[in-house]
Structure 1
Amino acid sequence: MASSTARPDVDASAQSGPSVARRLLDSSATLSYDPAKEVDWETPLDKDFHGASPEWSTLFGTAYWDELTEPQRKELTRQEAASVASTGIWFEMILQQLILRDVYAKDPTDDRVQWALTEIADECRHSIMFARGAQKLGAPAYRPHRVAVELGRLFKTTAFGEAAYAAILVAEEVLDVMQRDWMRDERVVPFVRTINNIHVVEESRHMKFAREEMRRNLAKAGRARRYFHAFLIAVAAYVIVTSMVSRKVYANAGLDEKRALAEARANEHHKAMMRSSCAGLMEFLASCRLLTRPALAFYKRAHLI
Structure 2
Amino acid sequence: MTSAPAESAQRTAADEDVSQRLLDSAATLSYDPATEVDWESPLPPDEYGLNPEWSTLYGTPLWDELTEQQRVTLTRHEVCSVMSIGIWFEMILQQMVLRDQYVKNPANAEFQFALTEIADECRHSIMFARACAKMDVPAYLPPRLIAQLGRLFKTLASAESAYGGILVAEEILDVMQRDWMRGENVLGIVRTTSKIHVVEEARHMKFARQEIKESMRGAGRVRRNASAVLIAVVADIVASNLVQKEVYASVGLDPDRAVAAVRRNEHRKSMLRNSCVHLMDFLSEAGLLNRPAMAIYRRINMI
Name the TM tier (shorter chain). Answer: over 0.9
Task: Give the Cα separation in 2 of the matches to 1:187 and 1:256.
Answer: 27
The 5-angstrom pairing of residues 227-246 of structure 1 reads 227-246=225-244
Superposed displacement of residue 145, structure 1: 1.5
The 5-angstrom pairing of residues 61-100 of structure 1 reads 61-100=59-98
Superposed displacement of residue 225, structure 1: 0.8
> Which of residues 107, 117, 138 is equivalent to 2:115?
117
Residue of structure 2 in register with 1:48 after alignment: 46
Task: Tell me the TM-score normalized by structure 2.
Answer: 0.95
The 5-angstrom pairing of residues 1-305 of structure 1 reads 16-305=14-303
Task: Return the structure number with greater relative CO, CA threshold 8 A, min gap 6.
Answer: 1
Superposed displacement of residue 22, structure 1: 0.3
Q: In the alignment, residue 284 of structure 1 is paired with which amino acid?
A: F
Superposed displacement of residue 13, structure 1: 6.4
Superposed displacement of residue 255, structure 1: 2.1
**C-alpha contact (below 8 Å) 1:14/1:212 kept by paired residues:** no
Superposed displacement of residue 253, structure 1: 2.5
Task: Give the Cα separation in 2 of the matches to 1:21 and 1:291.
Answer: 26
**C-alpha contact (below 8 Å) 1:163/1:233 kept by paired residues:** yes
Superposed displacement of residue 256, structure 1: 2.4
Task: Give the Cα separation in 2 of the matches to 1:190 and 1:244.
Answer: 21
Which secondary structure does the structure 2 equivalent of 1:294 belong to? Answer: helix
Task: Give the Cα separation in 1 of the matches to 2:48 and 2:260.
Answer: 23
Tell me the alpha carbon deviations over residues 143-202 of structure 1, each in whole angstroms, 9 at most, x when there is no partner: 111111111000000000011111111001110000000000111011110000000000
Q: In the alignment, residue 293 of structure 1 is paired with which amino acid?
A: R
The percentage of aligned residue pairs carrying the same residue is 59
Task: Give the Cα separation in 2 of the matches to 1:43 and 1:12.
Answer: 52
Which secondary structure does the structure 2 equivalent of 1:116 belong to? Answer: helix
Q: What are the ranges of 5 or more consecutive residues in structure 2 without an aligned counterpart?
A: 1-8
Which secondary structure does the structure 2 equivalent of 1:184 belong to? Answer: coil
Task: Give the Cα separation in 1 of the matches to 2:270 and 2:218.
Answer: 35
**C-alpha contact (below 8 Å) 1:87/1:244 kept by paired residues:** yes
Task: Tell me the TM-score normalized by structure 1.
Answer: 0.94
Superposed displacement of residue 15, structure 1: 5.1
Task: Mark the CA change 1:12 to 1:82 in structure 2 (over 3 Å): closer, same or farther.
Answer: farther
**C-alpha contact (below 8 Å) 1:180/1:196 kept by paired residues:** yes
Task: Mark the CA change 1:257 to 1:227 in structure 2 (over 3 Å): closer, same or farther.
Answer: same
Task: Give the Cα separation in 2 of the matches to 1:220 and 1:115.
Answer: 25
CA RMSD of aligned residues (A): 1.3
Which secondary structure does the structure 2 equivalent of 1:220 belong to? Answer: coil
Task: Give the Cα separation in 1 of the matches to 2:257 and 2:43.
Answer: 28
Tell me the alpha carbon deviations over residues 271-298 of structure 1, each in whole angstroms, 9 at most, x when there is no partner: 1101110010001101111111111121
Task: Give the Cα separation in 2 of the matches to 1:296 and 1:147.
Answer: 24
Task: Give the Cα separation in 2 of the matches to 1:254 and 1:23.
Answer: 49
Residue of structure 1 in register with 2:5 after alignment: none
